[in-house]
Amino acid sequence: MKTLTIDHRYNGPPGSANGGYACGALAVAAGADLTVRLLAPPPLDEALILSAREGGEWELASGAGPVALGTPARLVLEVPPAPPYVQAVWASQHYPGFNHHPFPDCFVCGPHRRRGDGLRIFPGMLETGIVAAPWLPADDLDAGDGKVAVEFHWAALDCPGYFAVCAGRRTMMLGEMHAHVDRRVHAGESCTVIGWKLASEGRRHRAGTAIFDQDGELCARALATWIELKTVTDD
């Protein structure tokens, strides 16, 4: 049994962790290749219990109950080629979150976060049907070897999937995520992050995301399921 505490800096919605960061922190603490399902909003600044279960599963729990469940899996995901960096910059200038954002203080994509505080990944749509954004990882994301820590790759891979499936027009929550980091990017490296819609069924939407280094080489990818929240008009 281990404990895991998510600092309040890494929030998504108010009062809870960014889903991608939380999933990545669980996978890193478990030291396993996992698909992570979020069962409840991950609390901040609270010691969470990470426990191994039968079949290689890992459960993350708070005092109120289960928060997430990690299941061993191998990620299979075909990734589109990286767009030119200048196109990612152009797309980011048209980020829909600048006009309306359900969680403007999100660690990953919140426009209210300052440089060096949030990741400031602002994906906008390209004519190819994918969303793209530049990402310049801050020095404090360094794992101690000049490269960005794995959990921040998971975080960076989170929100672009949301904007790929709904362009920020609906409120959704991350339900499940599986990321694989092929090669960690360097702190201060000019990277490109993309997202693309895979499928939708009712209120469930699937998206792929990827991170490329400054040479356009694939470094990390993820598959995520997003759950659209019910509105008062839904049956």
Whole-angstrom distance, CA of residue 93 vs CA of residue 78: 27
Edge to edge, what strands does the sheet with 218-228 contain? 2-5, 47-52, 58-62, 65-72, 34-38, 172-181, 218-228, 204-212, 191-201, 131-135, 124-125
Taking only the tens of pLDDT, the chain with its 235 residues reads: 799 999 999 999 999 999 999 999 999 999 999 999 999 999 999 999 999 999 999 999 999 999 999 999 999 999 999 999 999 999 999 999 999 999 999 999 999 999 999 999 999 999 999 999 999 999 999 999 999 999 999 999 999 999 999 876 788 999 999 999 999 999 999 999 999 999 989 889 999 999 999 999 999 999 999 999 876 444 4
Look up the pTM and report it: 0.95
Q: Which residues contact 194 (CB under 8 A, 6 or more apart)?
A: 80, 82, 83, 88, 123, 130, 131, 132, 133, 160, 209, 210, 212
Query: Which position has the token pair 């396993």?
Result: 32
pLDDT for residue 230: 76
CATH code for the structural domain at 2-72 = 3.10.129.10
Architecture of domain 85-228: Roll (3.10)
Whole-angstrom distance, CA of residue 63 vs CA of residue 222: 29
What burial class does residue 97 get, using C-beta atoms within 10 Å of its C-beta: 0-12 exposed, 13-18 middle, 19+ buried?
buried
pLDDT for residue 168: 66
Residue 43: beta bridge partners?
A: 16
Q: Where are the domains of the chain?
A: 2-72, 85-228
Torsion of CA 19, 145, 85, 215, to 10 degrees: -130
**Distance, first Cα to last Cα, the chain:** 42
